[in-house]
Amino acid sequence: MFLSKNASKINKKQVLLLDLGTLTIWFGLSFALFYFIGFAFLPFFSFCVYLIFAAFALLATKSSVISRNIFQNALKIGIALSTTFVATALVSWFFVAPSELSLICLLLFYLSVLNFISLLLFRSAFLAQINDKNNAVIRVLLYGCDAIAINTATFLKTNLQQPYKVVGYVSSDSAITNTDQKLPVYKTISAIPFHLIDVVVIPKTASNQSKINELVDAALSHKIKVLSSYQPASSSKNKATFVLQPFSVIDLLGRDVLDFDQENILKSIKNKVVLISGAAGSIGSELAKQVILYQPKQLILLDFAESALHDLFIEMEFIAAPNVVFPVIGDIRDLKFLHKLFNTYKPQLLFHAAAYKHVPLMQANPFQAVQTNVFGTKNLADLSVQFEIEKFVFISTDKAVNPSSIMGASKRIAEQYLQLLNQQKNSQFIITRFGNVLGSNGSVVPLFEKQIAKGGPVTVTHQDVIRYFMTLSEACLLVLEASALGKGGEVFLFDMGEPVKIIDLAHKMILLAGYEPEREIKMQFIGLRPGEKLFEELHTVTSKTETTYHAKITIAKETWNLDKLLHEMQDLEHVLYQKSDIELVEQMQKMVPEFELQHNITCCK
């Protein structure tokens, strides 16, 4: 069940103010009454003591007094006022003349009864108003009119505590054939009467991403909440249940479901020993969850992060057969360890996802970037040749193209080395290159989500910066498809769709969270960080692309200058351990002439 963010809740401060207002009003009226009828004395002192005690008594019990149950309210108010009456009478006994005490007690009792009745009535009316707001019908517009949409509508009507009412559907398909659904089907976004709608619900299985984006944009422009729905695995066929949750920007930037050659992927993985480096990372862990579905003989999960690897292994135990998944803690920079690993498991297929990838951090740590991204990759590649691995699939990045950062240049050098090995050895080395992955560790989406949750500001590096995005599951499926398709030496490029302006992404995430940009959540421009560019490229200007049977995968035909690479790799290793970081970067620029460092190296000399 999903409770709307705007659903009315009992505000304890409001109730307390209501209580104090009631006490003050009766205090003033009683005091004025006694004054006008000419009482011989005015019990001002006792009434003030009563008012103070009543306020503290109600404040002390407000956590339990505030209840939707009228009997609980009556009991708690009665206890608070009775305690106040007794305490005030005891104080008055010390400070008031005995001849006046009995009359004062009678007046205090009269005041307590009036306050009890007033507080109970006012609070009941207040809570009734809140209940009316919570019980108001929430008008829902559903995207799609297929079986999923119909089942979602049925569930919203019968299974949720909140009174949702489906008032229509959005679909370009023909009208709903179910005779129980006598509701309009809007075929165009412009035809939707948004003033009659409170919530838009979009199933996660919905297709036609462009129309979904159009619908979300229109809903947000009308300040209408957008939710996504999905059917959990625990849902039974006889009684379908659905979960509603806030619509995510990942859903918004997703694309229509792609067709994959499942048989070819199965053939490339089934009954083979598969090794995934960087398995505990976002891409590595998603690869592991997808690879296990294709029945590998063994799946070796290699990572340096103990806790993250442990969490992944616990999760994999629920979806894998016994004695198939093996977690291994280790460092790809440790050649002796890797040799022992290869000798023990003898992998046939390797997905290399381990890398340092945070651009600004690697700008400040070039030694670690080169040692891990270049020579860690070299260690795995050399052992793959030695142990005659069938395929080595390298997870590269668009930042390796015309690199402006140390991280990008290190990945480019690793690409070059794999190309060299592929020309000389029997093992097949395949490179996959794509842009930003939504939801991956360190990506901009989780950062924005945290900043929005804290109330802002949302930090954007530059108003013109753009990036390519794809979902984690889609990226990993394309990696598997490319690995099955590749014959060695290819640089596979994935269709990343249209580039996204980061400022537009931030703006939309704020709207999806239910806030108004700039007024409720500020956006702040902080400038490009070290090594960052305004835009990324998937291939060089001089390279050509070649199509494959998959519409979303192309092959980059690039010119590789590998004649001096072995000698340059030796020089790079010497500089890495013997020279300064500045000299290390200079050596990288010799190996990658298009590498133009955007910021100076200042952390180390």
Burial class of 1 by CB neighbour count within 10 A (0 to 12, 13 to 18, 19+): exposed
Residue 12 annotated among the catalytic residues of the structure: no
Could you count the other beta carbons within 10 Å of the beta carbon of residue 94? 6
| CA distances for 355 relative to 47, 308, 376, 387, 580, angstroms | 74, 15, 8, 22, 22
Q: 325 in helix, strand or coil? A: strand
Residue 544: partners with Cβ closer than 8 Å, 6 or more residues away: 556, 557
| CA distances for 43 relative to 23, 37, 91, 97, 459, angstroms | 16, 14, 13, 11, 62
How far is it, in rounded angstroms, from Cα 555 to Cα 539?
10
How far is it, in rounded angstroms, from Cα 299 to Cα 288?
8
- Residue in 399, 411, 425, 508 annotated catalytic: 399
For residue 335 the two structure tokens come to 């050649």
| CA distances for 503 relative to 327, 461, 500, angstroms | 40, 9, 9
How far is it, in rounded angstroms, from Cα 146 to Cα 177?
9
To 5 degrees, how large is the angle CA 249–CA 234–CA 514? 25
For residue 99 the two structure tokens come to 């001849």
Q: Are 522 and 456 in contact (CB under 8 A)?
A: yes
What's the 3-state SS for 259-317? CCCHHHHHHHHCCCEEEEECCCCHHHHHHHHHHHHHCCCEEEEEECCHHHHHHHHHHHH
How many whole angstroms from its chain centre is CA 484?
31
Tell me the residue ranges of DSSP E strands in 51-163: 138-143
How many whole angstroms from its chain centre is CA 222?
24
Residue 230: partners with Cβ closer than 8 Å, 6 or more residues away: 203, 204, 205, 242, 243, 245
How far is it, in rounded angstroms, from Cα 294 to Cα 269?
6
Q: Are 284 and 303 in contact (CB under 8 A)?
A: yes
Burial class of 476 by CB neighbour count within 10 A (0 to 12, 13 to 18, 19+): buried
How far is it, in rounded angstroms, from Cα 203 to Cα 244?
9
How far is it, in rounded angstroms, from Cα 593 to Cα 580?
20
Longest dimension (CA), the chain: 114
Active site residues: 399
